[in-house]
Amino acid sequence: MSTEVLPGRSSSLGDAENWLALGTGVLLLLVGASRRRSLIGACLAASSAPLLYRGVTGRWPQVIDGHLQPDSTRSALSGARGIHVRESIRLELPIGDVYRFWRRLENLPRFMTHLDRVTESGDGRSHWVTSGAAGLAVEWDAEIINEVENKVLAWRSLPGSEVVSAGSVNFEPARGGRSTQLSVHLQYAPPAGKAGALMASLFGREPSQTVREDLRNFKQLLEAGEIPRATVTA
């Protein structure tokens, strides 16, 4: 298990709280790890991640506490202002395979219909481009803010991005470890300007349906090796 530690801002909170978080996190991790192959154990272990993160960096992972940085995602996404989408899907594959495919962000456009490409720069940062004709495509930069192998991956758009969004994916073993359950939580800013209009058109009136279709594509691609098509144009 590895926790990617990002350079944090100075915290306004005292050391005591950091130590408390770190201690609780370690405790949860140990308890969780001791209950191997159990769902509760996995959940406990996963829940240790933000606490460990808080303990080490002095701040909460932005996605998890919902308080994002004031100059970007925070004002746009916090509270009731952000649009939240939650969907999950189960695959008949080992958790490692599922995690590895998703973690390589360049793979995302293979099953996310509205993404044209994602390029990773290697420092946890990535560049995202939506599909669409020249001038209509929207681009933004994102960074990974939480990464625990085979458990969780979270990211958010960088300050100054056209698209203000954040998301996390949790990976859990299911059916006694024979299957893997993947849960996505996406947040994005409500429509405003060109990027907002684009997000609205991407997600339509039922954003969860779009995410569900993308997850279905993901499952089909990994399980069956191809995304089913009935006709040339579909």
Partner 1 sequence: MRAVCWEGKEKIKVETVPDPVILNPRDAIIKVTTSAICGSDLHLYDGFIPTMQKGDVLGHEFMGEVVEVGKENTRLKIGDRVVVPFTIACGRCYFCKEQLWSLCDNSNPNAWMAEKLYGYSASGLFGYSHMYGGYPGGQAEYARVPFADIGPLKVPDALTDEQVLFLSDIFPTGYMAADNCQIKPGDTVAVWGCGPVGQFAIKSAYLLGAEHVIAIDRFAERLDLAASQGGAQTLNYEQVDVLEALREMTGGQGPDACIDAVGLEAHGTTLDAWYDRAKTSMFLATDRSHALRQAISACRKGGTVSIPGVYGGWLDKFPLGAAFAKGLTLKMGQTHMHKYMPILLERIERGEIDPSFIITHRIDLEDAPGMYRTFRDKDDSCIKVVMKPGARGRSSERTTSTDH
Q: Which residues are near partner 1 by CB under 8 A?
A: 90, 92, 179, 209, 212-213, 216, 219-220, 223-232, 234
**H or E stretch covering 74:** helix 73-77
Q: Which residues contact 91 (CB under 8 A, 6 or more apart)?
A: 98, 179, 180, 181, 182, 219, 222, 223
Report the nearest approach of partner 1 to the CB of residue 209 (Å). Answer: 7
CB 17 within 8 A of CB 51: no
Of 9 and 229, nearer to partner 1 (C-beta) is 229
Report the nearest approach of partner 1 to the CB of residue 206 (Å). Answer: 10
Of 122 and 225, nearer to partner 1 (C-beta) is 225
What amino acid is encoded at 202 in this protein?
L
Q: What is the distance of C-alpha 7 from the center of its chain? A: 19
Of 133 and 234, nearer to partner 1 (C-beta) is 234
**Separation of alpha carbons 31 and 8, rounded Å:** 28
CB 156 within 8 A of CB 142: yes
Report the nearest approach of partner 1 to the CB of residue 111 (Å). Answer: 12
Structure tokens at 219: 């499952």
Of 11 and 181, nearer to partner 1 (C-beta) is 181
* SS3 at position 221: helix
Report the nearest approach of partner 1 to the CB of residue 200 (Å). Answer: 20
* SS3 at position 144: strand
Report the nearest approach of partner 1 to the CB of residue 6 (Å). Answer: 37
**Separation of alpha carbons 186 and 180, rounded Å:** 19
Of 34 and 209, nearer to partner 1 (C-beta) is 209
